[in-house]
Amino acid sequence: MKKITALIFGYNDYAFEIAKNIEHKYRDICIFKLNSDEATLQKKNYKIKNFDFSDEWDELKNTFDMQKSIAFCVLEDDAENIFLTISLRSSFKDLSIIALSKNKESANKLSMAGANKVIPVVQTTASIIADMLKKPVVTEVLHDILYEKSDLKIAQIQVEKDNFFDGKYPADIEWSREHGIIVLSIMHEDMSSEFIYSSKVQHHVIKNGDIFVVVGYENEIKEFEKSIGSRCDVDWDNWSR
């Protein structure tokens, strides 16, 4: 059964990627484009509405049941995204707001502005997450992690003790049974990444410098981290609280 209406504020590739991957979850989806944005993206199948920061959201109130809606604030400009979050929160006290953040500073500001949850999007993981969102095998898992309440987390763990794997290939390891985690992708030293189930990764000897993008519960992730190396780039413990 489809749930509430999803209101996505942002006219960019990330907004459309979110829309594509949640359309089976929500009753209706509407994407909002700033009046100042150029209509450079040619996307079909979604409702597109214009909005402006001077709006008092009267049209929003009259068109949607805001108590049965969820808002995604994914404007590319951090300041605009924070202002949008403040404006929506001040007008709709009970609206669920999910906001995109490029760094911890803006994440903290978005939380203070009234976002219920913040999605961290950093340079090193943005492309990986975008790639994973296109793969059906992980879409449901990522939806629950990013958009719903879940104890599951995504983390990046760098290999610093490759002797732990004793020259094994990723295909030789039963990640869930042996370590209680799911490995989604491996990032190499040159920052290129490969999906864990690709043939190239399956025959790649694990070595120091490799970075695993993993999904799991915090305790299992910490145990895995102790065994092979250290968490890098993003302090996921302090996101989205």
- The model's pLDDT over 14-26, given as tens digits with 9 standing for 90+, comes to 888 888 878 878 8
Question: Residue 68's CB: how many other CB atoms inside 10 A?
Answer: 11
Average pLDDT over residues 169-175: 81
Please choose, from the candidates 93, 111, 114, 91, the residue with its C-alpha nearest in 3D space to the C-alpha of residue 101: 111
For residues 93 and 160, state if they share a domain: no
Please choose, from the candidates 112, 85, 89, the residue with its C-alpha nearest in 3D space to the C-alpha of residue 100: 85
CATH number of the domain that residue 50 is part of: 3.40.50.720
Structure tokens at 141: 């898992």
pLDDT in tens, 50-103: 888 776 788 898 999 998 899 999 998 888 999 999 999 989 998 999 998 877
When pLDDT is cut at 50, 70 and 90, the band that residue 7 belongs to is: very high
Average pLDDT over residues 217-237: 78
3-class SS of residue 72: strand
For residues 115 and 178, state if they share a domain: no
Average pLDDT over residues 121-128: 47
Q: Tell whether pTM > 0.85.
A: no
Tell me, what DSSP letter sits at residue 172?
A: G
CA gap 15, 220 in Å, rounded: 31
Percent of the chain topping pLDDT 90:
22
For residues 117 and 143, state if they share a domain: no
> Is the model's pLDDT at 127 over the cut of 80?
no
For residues 101 and 132, state if they share a domain: no
Domain boundary residue, one of 65, 98, 121: 121
When pLDDT is cut at 50, 70 and 90, the band that residue 30 belongs to is: very high
Structure confidence at residue 228 (pLDDT): 92
CA gap 187, 147 in Å, rounded: 24
pLDDT in tens, 175-211: 877 888 878 778 776 666 676 666 677 677 888 988 8
For residues 139 and 234, state if they share a domain: yes
**Strand 117-120 versus strand 47-51 pairing type:** unpaired
**Strand 193-195 versus strand 181-187 pairing type:** antiparallel
For residues 106 and 15, state if they share a domain: yes
> Is the model's pLDDT at 8 over the cut of 90?
yes
For residues 108 and 143, state if they share a domain: no
> Is the model's pLDDT at 130 over the cut of 80?
no
Domain count, the chain: 2
pLDDT in tens, 144-161: 555 555 566 778 899 999
- Extended strands (E) in 124-228: 152-159, 181-187, 193-195, 211-217
For residues 9 and 98, state if they share a domain: yes
For residues 164 and 187, state if they share a domain: yes
Give the mean pLDDT of the chain: 77
For residues 198 and 138, state if they share a domain: yes
Domain boundary residue, one of 121, 150, 179: 121
Domain boundary residue, one of 121, 148, 175: 121
Spell out the residues 6+ positions from residue 10 whose beta carbon is closer than 8 angstroms to its own: 31, 32, 72, 73, 74, 75, 76, 100
Could you tell me how many residues make up the chain? 241
Strand partners, 107: none
Q: Which residue would you say has higher pLDDT here, 154 or 229?
A: 229
Range of 204's domain? Answer: 126-238
For residues 98 and 145, state if they share a domain: no
For residues 40 and 98, state if they share a domain: yes
Structure tokens at 111: 């939380």
CATH number of the domain that residue 164 is part of: 3.30.70.1450
195, 180, 147, 103 alpha-carbon torsion, rounded to 10°: -70
3-class SS of residue 203: coil
